[in-house]
Amino acid sequence: MGTHILDEAKRCLQCKSPKCQKGCPVNTPIPEMINLLLEGHIHKAGENLFKNNPLSLVCSLVCPHEKQCEGNCILGIKSNPIQISSIENYISDYSLNVMDLKPKEKSIGNIGIIGSGPAGITIAFILSLKGYHVTIFEAHDQIGGVLRYGIPEFRLPKDIIDRLRDTLIKLGVVIRPNTLIGPVLTIEDLFRDGFDALFIGTGVWKPMKLNIKGESLGHVHYAIDYLKNPDVYTLGNRVCVIGAGNVAMDVARTALRKGSKEVSILYRKGMEDIPAGKHELEYAKIDGVKFELYKTPTAFTHEGVCYTQTKKVKHKDGEKIINVDDSQGLFKCNSIIIAISQGPKSNIISTTKGINVNKYGLVITDKCGRTTKEGVFASGDVVTGAKTVVEAVNYSKKVAEAIHEYVSKKYTTSTN
């Protein structure tokens, strides 16, 4: 065990009312986890973490810890917070290979999970451990969703997702890859074939357009598409990324790792307004990402990005960003990647009656993930829009219980 992990664990004050735990969206039992580790009960610590969050290993790497557990550590007020993420990562990484996961009960019911991102994987684990027969339908050739196809390898190694897949298979979960539900197989087909409940966790894979001239040119790409397989792109030496969120930082850092010499973020506001997390921004700077601030793209050409200079002015409702007159310019680059946002695709909604969506195309559910169609549940980004992995897990735990209640009641009623 790394000495620094032990040193960090020993720094824990074992607060009676742990703010670190309250700062975690899934209420990870952090003091208990650390105490078990120090007492030599790493197996128990790992089991507790997994029971609370099946994606504990993933979350230990990709969560915005500075805003959640570590950001609420009492030691962070006058000193450095405990590296809770490192401790959780060590325990979860060790435990995933040695836990003896078996269903504690046998439940009657056939559950279909459409999409295998964070929400789908979480629900697959919870329901398979309850003894249900679970089938995952995945549009890609591998499970993982945004974990595999949206987060770069340097932030989340793909072998972690492979290990989660192997664990699911050992639990009896059936995975059907390269199967897009909607155009060919429909929701009604699945119900016809004996599925008792269906879960939709298809994420948000439709990139948002800027709707400006030049967006269809060959050197213009979308972030969510680029991150799926960066190796198939030839970006050239000079790359411009439009947007300044976490996805934009991932794209910029990936492009540098794939050989581009100069990668710049073009953003219409100032550095203090950048929506990316503090750590993501800092790592981007360390990696050499440049920033072109107060510039709004107006068109794309073969030479690069046409832009208008902007500035921040005081307004009666606060501050406002406005264009500067006669301030057009051209930012020369070989490739452009748009990273402004993404929304859900309509493969399922367009082929299914009774599932209501809002004006953004997101599935409408109640607080437990029940959609407006009987027997169909949903959670994750397809319901909330793009959120963090841990938020998807938190919501999906409630949805899994709602599915369990629905299916068990269905069979209880049928036998009476």
Mean pLDDT by 10 residues, the chain (416 residues): 81 95 97 97 97 98 95 93 96 94 91 98 98 97 97 97 97 97 96 98 95 98 97 98 97 98 97 94 97 97 98 85 92 98 93 95 96 97 95 97 95 68
User: What 3-state class would DSSP assign to 318?
Assistant: strand
Which helix (H) or strand (E) is 2 found in, with range?
none
- The pLDDT of residue 105 is 84
Domain 110-205+344-415 falls under CATH 3.50.50.60: yes
Q: 133-137 and 174-176 as β-strands: parallel, antiparallel, unpaired?
A: parallel
Q: 197-200 and 110-114 as β-strands: parallel, antiparallel, unpaired?
A: parallel
- CA 382-384-389 angle, to 5 degrees, is 85
What is the rounded distance in angstroms from the CA atom of residue 153 to the CA atom of residue 159?
A: 9
What is the rounded distance in angstroms from the CA atom of residue 17 to the CA atom of residue 374?
A: 41
- CA 244-249-251 angle, to 5 degrees, is 115
Alpha-carbon distance values, 196 to 130, 232, 257, 388, 396 (Å): 15, 40, 46, 29, 18
- The pLDDT of residue 398 is 97
Domain 3-98 falls under CATH 3.40.50.720: no
Per DSSP, the residues of 240-280 read EEE--SHHHHHHHHHHHHTT-SEEEEEESS-GGG--S-HHH
The reply to whether 110-205+344-415 shares the fold of 3-98 is no
Label residues 61-71 b or e (16+ Cβ within 10 Å = b).
bbbbbbebbbb
What is the rounded distance in angstroms from the CA atom of residue 373 to the CA atom of residue 356?
A: 8
Question: Where do the domains of the chain lie?
Answer: 3-98, 110-205+344-415, 207-338
Residue 98, amino acid: V
Q: What is the torsional sign of CA 319, 321, 327, 330?
A: positive
Structure tokens at 157: 């190694």
Question: Minimal CA–CA distance to 383: which of 400, 401, 367, 406?
Answer: 367
Residue 233, amino acid: Y
Residue 407, amino acid: V
- The pLDDT of residue 416 is 56
Residue 366, amino acid: D
DSSP for residue 236: -
Class of the 207-338 domain? Answer: alpha beta
Which helix (H) or strand (E) is 410 found in, with range?
helix 389-415
Structure tokens at 19: 């703010």
Which helix (H) or strand (E) is 282 found in, with range?
helix 278-287
Provide the 10 A C-beta neighbour count for residue 41.
Answer: 13
What is the rounded distance in angstroms from the CA atom of residue 341 to the CA atom of residue 222?
A: 10
DSSP for residue 364: P
Cα dihedral 230, 234, 238, 240, rounded to 10, equals -50
